[in-house]
Structure 1
Amino acid sequence: MSWERHITIKSPKEIEIMRIAGRINAEALQAACDIARPGVTTADLNAAAEEVLKKYGVYSPFKNYPGPYPYPASTTVSVNDELVHGIPGSRKLKEGDIVSIDCGTVYEGFVADSAVTIAIGEVSPEIQRLLEVTEQALYAGIAKMLPGNRVGDVSAAIQQFVESRGFFVTREYTGHGVGRQMHEGPQVPNYGVPGRGMVLRPGMTIALEPMVLIGSPYTRVLEDQWTVASQNGLPTAHFEHTVAVTEHGPLILTLLEDGSTPGRNHRKPV
């Protein structure tokens, strides 16, 4: 990918700008989570997030993102077997669904990118475990985002956590550097070998995003040419934070003002 070579080191001031972008992004995700219940459409979730972006006078880099055709929304909303890039529309949520909401925010020229997966009402123990493992895998990867570690250390931590619990990581979609562009280097797969890959340096900012599947790692692209779903039709989950590498350890930039992750009210404590 062309953006793989484009790596930017952010100054402390730039990281603070990205932290503001991240808080707005988290607030937008929380607004979508707050209205998520049976009967609400995926377009409604997108509209709730867009209201927050509008309030702050910012925009999402997702909208009009180039692809098979310009992406039409500010968020991606992916339900059940849909892993990523689901287009918001008229689909109504049902009791027992799980929905992944991914949003980006551009503030003063810098991008924040994060995602959560939430349950709509009660879900089966297996699906609850899928959500827990995916979120915990994100934090396992974040813990390895230390100066001097390599990208492979982060990727391997995610892969080992997920696979040791009987699930699968996608091989086709990855985390990525983020900054003035939504996709910068380095590319950070959800699988890898410890000690391999680029060395992490203070000032790197990366959107880390485990995408986890049941039974198989294989995916397919749906007829809308954007939505990616599990090949076997089983549920999937996706969690993401934008994280800065600092001398003092990883700094999560996409938390709410109180330091929590959006969607907690829809998930049992992990």
Structure 2
Amino acid sequence: MIELRTPAEIEKMQVAGIFVGEVLTELAARATVGMNLLKLDQIAHDMIRARGAESCYIDYHPSFGASPFGKVLCTSVNDAVLHGLPHDYRLADGDMISLDFAASVDGWVSDSAITVIVGTPRPEDARLIDTTTRALDAGIAAAQPGGRLGDISAAIAAVALADGYTINTDFGGHSVGRTMHGDLHLPNNGRPGRGVHLKPGIVIAIEPWFLETTDKIVTDKDGWTLRSADGSRGAHMEHTVAITADGPLVLSARS
């Protein structure tokens, strides 16, 4: 069932979104050469505790996860692109890291992700991040009342395909509310004019993610981290977005 949020509820969700944005801004700034992934997770944990928020990840155990996640942050480095389980690894110059974070504040959830380059950038990594960022922007712009879910998917795909990337549709966006994952699934490829009608009150996480030279993924031995099948790098961008009568409203915007 797709739940429609009232304007008052969307305001409460924006409070959670502001917090999630603050955490990701801090983590992106701290993702420097020598930083340990476990330390990044601890920083996020400390910020959750200080805010009186709740993690959406630590007890998360869907069917595709080997066990409860056990951390509050996803840290996907280089050929890892989704669900990266923090472990004892220090970031090196030239690494690319995707930080995915979701939290509940006063019972309302926001979910967001960002990919950054550590130290010296590789041109191909910067290009992949740029494409993924523009795909997110295109998806948000297509999230218009009166439209269809497929409009968002098609807008995301158009950017990726124009830049020569292929698209995996196993994982994508989703509706957000009292829980992190609602019933609505938003693939990163689709046909415009198809799918669920976009009504004011729908809140979705729009999250394009692409790999440099493949659309195939494999699960790491940790049972969580998803990596490219060919070792190429990946990028992941995400915002929680509300459909309003005036158009899309990004709830997790970062300063």
- TM-score range, shorter-chain basis? over 0.9
Is 1:169–1:210's contact at 8 Å kept on the other side of the alignment?
no
Alignment of 1:19 with 2:14, yes or no, is yes
Kept in 2, the 8 Å contact 1:134–1:237? The answer is yes
Counterpart of 1:75 (choices 73, 76, 93) is 73
Tell whether 2:35 aligns with 1:35: no
1:54 is displaced (CA, Å) by 1.3
Residue 38 of structure 1: CA displacement? 1.0
Q: Which residue of 2 aligns with 1:249?
A: 247
Q: How does 1:1-270 map to 2 (within 5 A)?
A: 6-66=1-61, 67-256=65-254, 260=255
Q: Percent identity?
A: 39
Cα deviation 1:221-253 (Å, max 9, x = unaligned): 111110001111000000000000001110000
CA contact (8 A) 1:28 1:50 kept: no
Check whether the contact 2:157–2:190 (CA below 8 A) recurs between aligned residues.
yes
* Contact 1:31–1:52 (Cα < 8 Å) also in 2: no
Provide the aligned C-alpha RMSD in A: 0.9
- In the alignment, the residues of structure 1 paired with residue 44 and residue 66 of structure 2 have an alpha-carbon distance, to the nearest angstrom, of 24
Q: What amino acid maps onto 1:181 in structure 2? A: T
Which blocks of at least 5 consecutive residues in structure 2 are unaligned? none
Tell me the distance in 1 between the aligned counterparts of 2:217 and 2:172: 13
Q: Is the 8 A contact 2:214 2:232 kept in 1?
A: no
Letter matched to residue 164 of structure 2: G
Residue type at the aligned position of 1:74: V
Segments of 5+ residues of structure 1 without an aligned counterpart are 1-5, 261-270
Q: SS at the partner of 2:112?
A: strand
Q: Distance in 2 between matches of 1:187 and 1:230?
A: 22
SS at 1:136's partner residue? Answer: helix
User: 2:206 is matched by which residue type in structure 1?
Assistant: L
Secondary structure in structure 1 of the residue aligned to 2:171: coil
Using the TM superposition, give the Cα deviation of residue 33 of structure 1 relative to its aligned residue in structure 2, in angstroms: 1.4
Q: Which position in structure 2 is the counterpart of 1:3?
A: none
Task: Measure, in 1, the Cα distance between the counterparts of 2:231 and 2:218.
Answer: 10
How many angstroms apart in 2 are the aligned matches of 1:168 and 1:45?
Answer: 30
**Post-superposition offset of 1:24:** 0.5
One-letter amino acid of the structure 2 residue matched with residue 52 of structure 1? M
Which whole-Å CA distance do the structure 2 matches of 1:167 and 1:51 have between them? Answer: 37
Q: Structure 2 length as normaliser, TM-score?
A: 0.97
Alpha-carbon distance in structure 2 between the residues aligned to 1:83 and 1:128? 15
- Could you tell me whether the CA contact under 8 Å between 1:24 and 1:52 is conserved in 2? no
- 4+ residue segments displaced more than 2 Å: none
The alpha-carbon deviation at position 181 of structure 1 amounts to 1.3
CA shift, 1:185, in A, is: 2.6
CA distance in 1, matches of 2:49, 2:166: 37
Query: Contact 2:239–2:250 (CA<8 Å) still a contact in 1?
Result: yes
Moved more, 45-54 or 143-152: 45-54
Q: How many residue pairs align between the two structures? A: 252
TM-superposed CA distance for 1:168, in Å, is: 2.1
